[in-house]
Structure 1
Amino acid sequence: MNTKIILASTSVYRKEILEKLQLPFDCLSPNIDETPIKGETAQALVLRLAKAKAVAGAKLYNTINNNLDTHNKDVNNNPETKLDKISYIKSGSNEIQPAVIISSDQVAVIDGKIVGKPHSSDKAIKQLQQASGKAITFYTGLSVIHSQTQQAFSLIEPFTVHFRELTLAEITRYVELEQPLYCAGSFKAEGLGIALFEKLEGDDPNTLIGLPLIKLIQLLKKHDIQVL
């Protein structure tokens, strides 16, 4: 029986990155508490949340399959359990099709402090002023779990962005143009945000956007899924 691939994320950017591998996949949205634990490091936080999302995604996938008839009736009224373009029907033997669930979580760190999403233009401007002339390290937690065996492989992938010295006018103009209000670090590297940088430092540029493909390919292989 073929193994499905499920992306446990509603992020448009992660979905676009995963599409680069040209493997069919579906998406779901696990609902977990992402509140940091007091004293938790950035690395510990992203690894814990990536694992939690994967486990929640596997549980949700199995629950949906076990209640397929009911799910088909109410899926449009329950966005928390909706799967995009779903094709996860049971096999002729009534066995649930196995799946690997991919999940990730990311935070940025400036001067040793975790930086979240700004949610407003004023906060975005302040974040970029703080980052001007400095290096921001992004930590991305990645986890891939098998829905049936619960075997999971997880890791942390770092990526560092070196900002050039930015003027207030440049920062303000950038925020006005791109509105990076829901991006940790207040920029979109896949867009105009590239104009803010002096250099990038990391193994995989996809990591900066939220899904390290090179490492993901390695983890998928551990689950007997070959990209090529």
Structure 2
Amino acid sequence: MHNAPSTPSPHAAPLLSPRLVLGSTSPYRRELLVRLGLPFDVASPEVDERPLQDEAPLQTALRLATWKARAVAQRCEDDAVVIGSDQVADLNGMVLGKPGDHARAKAQLQAMRGQTVHFHTAVCVKRAATGFEQTQVSTVSVRFRALSDEAIDTYLRLEQPYDCAGSAKCEGLGIVLLERIDSDDPTTLVGLPLIVTTGLLQDAGLDVLGQLGQAGLPPQT
């Protein structure tokens, strides 16, 4: 088990009950959650993230988000609200995972050029003390430009997005690879849909604005 405190803004509210835990060590999800202005802990879910045989990409995202939240919640002895999340890139039903190296990333981008890829980002919020558990998914459709091999190599050398499903960081230089993004939530593609997440936290009994209001402090900006 790996537990490490997050590093929210010094202006964030003091820790209030229930405790908030992000069941992910992704720096991208951590940066997004910091925007809410609440302190939180980070825990590694330590689950097998390989897709199951014949499992649809969207179902993989939902299952893994749920597994991650449950795995972390089992190790929390106090009243904690746990967020688990998983993102799966779906190219015509084929799962595109984190490439890990240049060769795999190049192959992914070559397969995606001129294509529309669906990024399914699932969120599970679990509060074991009350028996609450809900999972939702937010999907983004991304149209990739018809990229040359030279452009792909240049991008990968510059940004090295080898820890990103789909081999592109839309919040960075990867935006030049894209022709169109269709989404109800701009944070979904980065890795944690905050619209879905805040709704689930509210349902679990953690009201973001209420917590900040009790503390008398503004949210992170």
TM-score range, shorter chain: 0.7 to 0.9
- Residue 206 of structure 1: SS of its match in structure 2? coil
1:159 is matched with 140
> How large is the RMSD of aligned CA atoms in angstroms?
1.2
Q: TM-score, normalised by structure 2?
A: 0.85
Question: Where does structure 1 differ by over 6 angstroms across 4 or more consecutive aligned residues?
Answer: none
Matched, 1:124 2:105: yes
1:4 to 19, 42, 52: 19
Instruction: Decide whether the 8 Å contact of 1:30 with 1:60 is kept in 2.
Output: no
Matched, 1:24 2:56: no
Deviations 1:202-222 (A, max 9, x none): 111211011000011111110
Measured in 2, the distance between the counterparts of 1:169 and 1:156 equals 35
Deviations 1:24-43 (A, max 9, x none): 11111121122221111111
2:92 is matched with 111
1:37 is matched with 52
% of aligned pairs identical?
43
Instruction: Decide whether the 8 Å contact of 2:109 with 2:152 is kept in 1.
Output: yes
1:46 is matched with 61
Matching residue's letter, 2:63: R
Measured in 2, the distance between the counterparts of 1:151 and 1:190 equals 33
Measured in 1, the distance between the counterparts of 2:95 and 2:101 equals 17
Instruction: Decide whether the 8 Å contact of 2:56 with 2:93 is kept in 1.
Output: no
Shift of 1:159: 0.7
1:206 is matched with 187
- Residue 122 of structure 1: SS of its match in structure 2? helix
Measured in 2, the distance between the counterparts of 1:227 and 1:220 equals 8
The alpha-carbon distance between structure 1 residues 123 and 35, as it changes in their structure 2 partners (threshold 3 A), is closer
Give the paired residue count. 194
Bigger Cα Rg: 1
Where structure 2 has 5 or more consecutive residues not aligned to the other structure, the ranges are 1-15, 210-221
Give the structure with the larger helix fraction: 1
Measured in 2, the distance between the counterparts of 1:99 and 1:21 equals 17
- Residue 187 of structure 1: SS of its match in structure 2? coil
Where structure 1 has 5 or more consecutive residues not aligned to the other structure, the ranges are 63-95
Measured in 2, the distance between the counterparts of 1:15 and 1:61 equals 19
- Residue 130 of structure 1: SS of its match in structure 2? helix
Shift of 1:147: 2.9
2:202 to 212, 221, 225: 221
1:183 is matched with 164
Measured in 1, the distance between the counterparts of 2:158 and 2:52 equals 35
Deviations 1:129-170 (A, max 9, x none): 111111110011110000312310111111111111111111
Matching residue's letter, 2:70: V
1:196 to 177, 180, 194: 177
